Amino acid sequence: MTSPIKLQLPLAHEELAHLSAGDEVLLSGNIYTMRDAGHKRCMEYLEEHGKLPFNLAGQTLFYAGPTPPAAGRPIGAVGPTTASRMDFATPALMRAGIVATIGKGKRSEEVVRACKETGAVYFAAIGGIAALLAECVHASELIAWEDLGTEALRKLEVVNFPVYVEIDTKGNDLYRNIESES
Amino acid sequence: MGVSSSPNALNSSLVARAVYAAIRECASTLRPDVLEAIRASWLSSKDAGADSRQTSVLHAIIENALIAERDNVPICQDTGTVWVCLEVGEELSVPGGVFREVNDAVARAYEDGKLRMSVVRDALFDRSNTNNNTPAFCELRIVPGSGALLHVLLKGGGSDNASRVCMLSPDAGASGVAQVVINCVREKAANACPPLVVGVGVGATFDKVAGMSKHALLRPIGSPAQSDEAAAFESELLGTINACGIGPAALGGTPTALAVHLETAPCHIAALPVAVNMGCCAMRSATIDLMKADII
């Protein structure tokens, strides 16, 4: 295996086009937490205004709901939640400008097609290592939806955040490749 | 002491204190038998020079457990719903308000421990957060004797969502049961954060079998199965699961599961109920002997 590819956020489509399913990537820069309740609100905004809220176009979404931070820390524990619950919204969000998503687990055929069509990527992060992943988070800022608690929209500044390319811009899918090999 | 001044009555505030202590401890501690099994898998993966994705995921899980313990940070951001099972000997009486005190303890533990509030008021009609992680999901079992055991499990949503109940026809037999387990792993393991502990319940009724598969997760890895027959079936299922190649974090390789734990029970002549409850690689549970819990 080769060494991880280091990428700076926000991610450019030209950089994403070079990635292949299975590549290990270290992300640095800003990512945005959004999960079930946030996706519902984001879709309502998109349907009403025809664009993404909070200048999210060009950004990367992280499907995560962190624990509250201990004193003096930017965040508690943070890690990926199951991505397929966001499948209902992801193709529309990618068409509106989201360039990458981070979660765990398989995505629908529609999401694979949306990655191919829009040049977006789905990254898998490792589930169950949230204390370790939190060490990659250097700052956290509440952007919106504070009433949603852990499901609020937050901007996380990450440094060398480890992920794997799960679906690349050609529509190759690491999980489906692993399934078909077994 | 596990009993209060009233003779043979379980002390409910002791139960609540034990629940509080277990939640605070479990949230930032990977269960020791799970950590040991991950460590063994990592060593053999490293020695075999296996695919580095598999080796590095296993290493990350070990490193995560060490960081969590050192810094008192939750091992997983999903600090779960709280599942509590009280197993009380029939010679003891149980105060009616025990689970009310348990709920108070859960609320305090989640607030004090800065754990994630992950419970909504109603699944269908009011998905607003209760903001204190209650209610806990509680069960009381009356068993022979005069002892009292408390089981506390912090259960993540992803692994519970990846679980299922199937009502088979009795003629489906062992191969039918195996098929349910394998299908569940193939379809859902990637969402459940492997390497998994796979809890399997077979028997009882539609509602009880799911509980059996959850109870099966409490058993420490490597401890004896319910019978020799059960041990042989567990090992057959584990072999088939690990031949799937899904691997740690579902990024390929092995192991997909650290153990399969089976519980069986009597059932209706027409039935063969099967339940699969996925336990994730961040397994958090504790079993406390309340008769020895005077240190709490």
Q: What is the DSSP letter of A53?
A: S
Q: Domain check: are B20 and B137 in the same one?
A: yes
Q: Grade residue A3 by pLDDT with cuts at 50, 70 and 90.
A: confident
With residue A45 as reference, give the H or E element that holds it.
Answer: helix A36-49
Q: What is the DSSP letter of A94?
A: H
| Cα distance between residue A65 and residue A70, in whole Å | 15
Phi, psi of A18 (to 5 degrees): -85, -10
- Helix (H/G/I), strand (E/B), else coil: A98: coil
- pLDDT, tens digit, 9 for 90 and up, residues B83-116: 999 999 999 999 999 999 999 999 999 999 999 9
| Cα distance between residue B81 and residue B119, in whole Å | 7
Q: Domain check: are B168 and B203 in the same one?
A: yes
Yes or no: say if B61 and B248 are a contact pair by the CB < 8 Å rule. Answer: yes
Residue A45 tokens read as: 């905004």
Q: Is residue B243 part of a domain?
A: yes
Nearest residue, CB atoms, B190 vs list A76, A78, A105: A105
For residue A82, the chain B residue with the least C-alpha distance is: B191
Q: Domain check: are B241 and B97 in the same one?
A: no
Q: Domain check: are B79 and B226 in the same one?
A: no
Percent of chain A with pLDDT over 90: 93
| Cα distance between residue A75 and residue B252, in whole Å | 30
Q: Domain check: are B145 and B207 in the same one?
A: no
Residue B50, judged by CB atoms within 10 A of its CB (0-12, 13-18, 19+), counts as: middle
**How would you label B69-89 residue by residue, b for 16+ Cβ within 10 Å and e otherwise?**
eeeebbbbbbbbbbbbbbbbb
Residue B293's pLDDT is what?
67
Q: Domain check: are B211 and B270 in the same one?
A: yes
Q: Could you tell me which of B79, B132, B74 has the C-alpha nearest to residue A70?
A: B74
Shortest Cα distance, chain B CAs vs residue A76, angstroms: 7
Q: Domain check: are B177 and B251 in the same one?
A: yes
Q: Domain check: are B203 and B135 in the same one?
A: no
Q: Domain check: are B185 and B289 in the same one?
A: no
| Cα distance between residue B226 and residue B216, in whole Å | 10
Domain that residue B148 falls in = 1-29+75-156+283-296
What is the rounded radius of gyration, in angstroms, for the C-alpha atoms of chain B? Answer: 19
Q: Is residue B42 part of a domain?
A: no
Interchain CB contacts (distance < 8 Å): A and B? 146
How many independent structural domains does chain B possess? 2
Answer yes or no: do B114 and A81 touch at CB < 8 A. Answer: no
Q: Domain check: are B236 and B134 in the same one?
A: no
Q: Which CATH number do you get for residue B289?
A: 3.30.360
Residue A70's pLDDT is what?
86
Phi, psi of B90 (to 5 degrees): -70, -15
Residue B52's pLDDT is what?
81
Q: Is residue B147 part of a domain?
A: yes
Residue A162's pLDDT is what?
98
Residue B7's pLDDT is what?
64
For tokens 């409850």, the residue is: B277
Question: What value does the mean pLDDT take over residues A55-67?
Answer: 97
Residue B191, judged by CB atoms within 10 A of its CB (0-12, 13-18, 19+), counts as: buried
Is it the case that residue A181 has pLDDT exceeding 70? Answer: yes
For tokens 């039918």, the residue is: B176
Please tell me the pTM assigned to this model.
0.95
Q: Domain check: are B169 and B118 in the same one?
A: no
Q: Is residue B141 part of a domain?
A: yes
pLDDT mean by block of 10 residues, chain B; 296 residues: 64 96 97 98 90 91 97 97 97 95 98 97 95 97 95 97 98 98 97 98 98 98 96 98 96 96 98 98 97 68
- pLDDT, tens digit, 9 for 90 and up, residues B156-189: 999 999 999 999 999 999 999 999 999 999 999 9
Residue B1's pLDDT is what?
47
Q: Domain check: are B227 and B123 in the same one?
A: no
Judging contacts by C-beta atoms under 8 Å, the chain B residues touching residue A71 are none
Is it the case that residue A49 has pLDDT exceeding 70? Answer: yes
Which residues 55-74 on chain B approach chain A with CB closer than 8 angstroms? 57, 60-61, 63-65, 67-68, 71-74
Q: Is residue B237 part of a domain?
A: yes
- pLDDT, tens digit, 9 for 90 and up, residues A134-157: 999 999 999 999 999 999 999 999
Q: Is residue B44 part of a domain?
A: no
Which residues 229-258 on chain B approach chain A with CB closer than 8 angstroms? 243-247, 249-252
Q: Is residue B43 part of a domain?
A: no
- Helix (H/G/I), strand (E/B), else coil: A165: strand
Chain A contact residues (CB < 8 Å to B): 1, 22, 24, 37, 64-70, 76-79, 81-82, 84, 104-106, 124, 126-132, 134-135, 148-150, 162, 164, 174-175, 178-179, 181-182
Tell me: ipTM over 0.85: yes
Residue A127 tokens read as: 């589930």
Mutate to test the interface with A, among B73, B111, B163 (most CBs of A within 10 A): B73
Return the HEC string of chain B: CCECCCCCEECHHHHHHHHHHHHHHHHCCCCHHHHHHHHHHHHHHHHCCCCHHHHHHHHHHHHHHHHHHHHCCCCCCCCCEEEEEEEEECCCECCCCHHHHHHHHHHHHHHHCCCCCCCEEECCCEEEECCCCCCCEEEEEEECCCCEEEEEEEECHHHHHCCEEEEECHHHHHHHHHHHHHHHHHHHHHHCCCCEEEEEEEEECHHHHHHHHHHHCCCCCCCCCCCHHHHHHHHHHHHHHHCCCCCHHHCCCCCCEEEEEEEEEEECCCCEEEEEEEECCCCEEEEEEHHHCCCC
Q: Is residue B56 part of a domain?
A: no
Phi, psi of B72 (to 5 degrees): 55, 45
Q: Could you tell me which of B203, B273, B289 has the C-alpha nearest to residue B10?
A: B289
Residue B173, judged by CB atoms within 10 A of its CB (0-12, 13-18, 19+), counts as: exposed
Instruction: Give me the half-sphere count of Cα atoms (radius 13 Å) on the Cβ side of residue A31.
Output: 32
* Rounded (10°) angle between helices B52-71 and B32-47: 150
SS3 content of chain A, % helix, strand, coil (to 5): 30, 30, 40
| Cα distance between residue B1 and residue B9, in whole Å | 11
- Helix (H/G/I), strand (E/B), else coil: A159: strand
| Cα distance between residue B248 and residue B54, in whole Å | 6
Which residue type does B86 have? L
- Helix (H/G/I), strand (E/B), else coil: A57: coil
Nearest residue, CB atoms, B60 vs list A76, A126, A149: A126
